[in-house]
A = this chain, B = another copy of it.
Amino acid sequence: MTAPLGRRVAAEAIGTGLLVTVVVGSGIQATELSHDVGVQLLANSLATVFGLGVLITLLGPVSGAHFNPGVTLAAWATGRRTGEGPGLREVAAYVPAQVAGAIAGAVLADAMFGEPLVRFSTQHRSAEHLLLGEVVATGGLVLLLLGLERVGRAVLAPAVVASYIGAAYWFTSSTSFANPAVTIGRAFTDTFAGIAPGSVAPFIGAQLLGFVVGLTAVTVVYGRRDRAATATTAATATTAAAATAAATAATVVVAPHDEPELASP
């Protein structure tokens, strides 16, 4: 019942794009309406919580709702061992779709608010402590995504991922980008949520480090997944990749007793 690759790629592009539209658009609206930067970030973060939860709910069953090259790559890497997860062909299709979607999402937000469609951000975000913030933000996201699977609660992903981002906007100094595609997209707008192109590479570097930190934390808290256990739980979710996919596929707060498959194969 897996959707054809074309639709899955479209879902990743549209999902990542609309995520950036929500982040950038709500940032513009907030700065137009308030002079208090705290109020601006409150609006920006709450709009993202609401929007991200909706997007994972809607698109998880189609593509897994990665919206994030790091998540797609982790799914591929972990999946190789067990023969599950996306193949290289899917990775090669997902990642550019995510990046292109993210850029288009920023342009759409600019267009809706009468801003220049593309004007690179002048907001430098390169202080070392911001990079530490990005490591923590990404590490926490990985701990969350894999942890949800390990405790059998992948079904809660939309609410839990959205809540996590809502907290991380505030408790990390970087306001938690935690996503290379979104970081690139946010370079294309010179508004509240923008990031200067020169800060993109350091941010992505910090995010990659955060992935490693997160994977380490998963092992510390949940232990190594042994083969027997993997076999036992394979039907539910064997790998990080499958876990994420399952999480979003099963993203309803409650699985209807006779949940229909996607109507169109």
Contacts and interface: CB of A to CB of B under 8 A. Distances in A.
Contact of A18 (B140, B169, B255): B140
Contacts of A5: none
A123 interface: no
Contacts of A148: 57-58
Interface in A198-243: 217, 220-226, 229-230, 232-233, 235-236
A54 B144 contact: yes
> In the complex this chain forms, how many copies of it are found?
4
Nearest to A39: B38
Nearest to A133: B112
Interface residues of A, number: 107
A164 to B, nearest CB: 5
Given A133-B112, A167-B47, A229-B264, A254 B253 contact: yes
Contact of A263 (B49, B51, B150, B251): B150
Nearest to A58: B147
Contacts of A53: 160, 163
Contacts of A258: 235-236
B262 A167 contact: no
Interface stretch (A19-27, A90-98, A181-189): A19-27
A86 B22 CA distance: 34
Determine which residue in A132, A163, A167, A262 has the highest number of CB atoms from chain B within 10 A of its CB, and name it: A167
Given A38-B40, A47-B171, A114 B143 contact: no
A85 interface: no
A127 B111 CA distance: 12
A23 to B, nearest CB: 8
A127 B264 CA distance: 39
B43 A43 contact: no
Given A62-B222, A152-B259, A112 B172 contact: yes
Given A62-B151, A114-B127, A235-B258, 16 more contacts: A4-B223, A7-B222, A11-B221, A21-B136, A26-B167, A33-B36, A33-B37, A42-B42, A53-B160, A58-B147, A113-B129, A152-B252, A152-B261, A153-B252, A225-B263, A229-B265
Interface of A: 3-4, 7, 10-11, 14, 18, 21-26, 28-30, 33-44, 46-51, 53-54, 57-62, 108-109, 111-114, 127-129, 132-133, 136, 140, 143-144, 147-148, 150-153, 155-156, 159-160, 163-164, 166-167, 169-173, 175, 217, 220-226, 229-230, 232-233, 235-236, 250-265
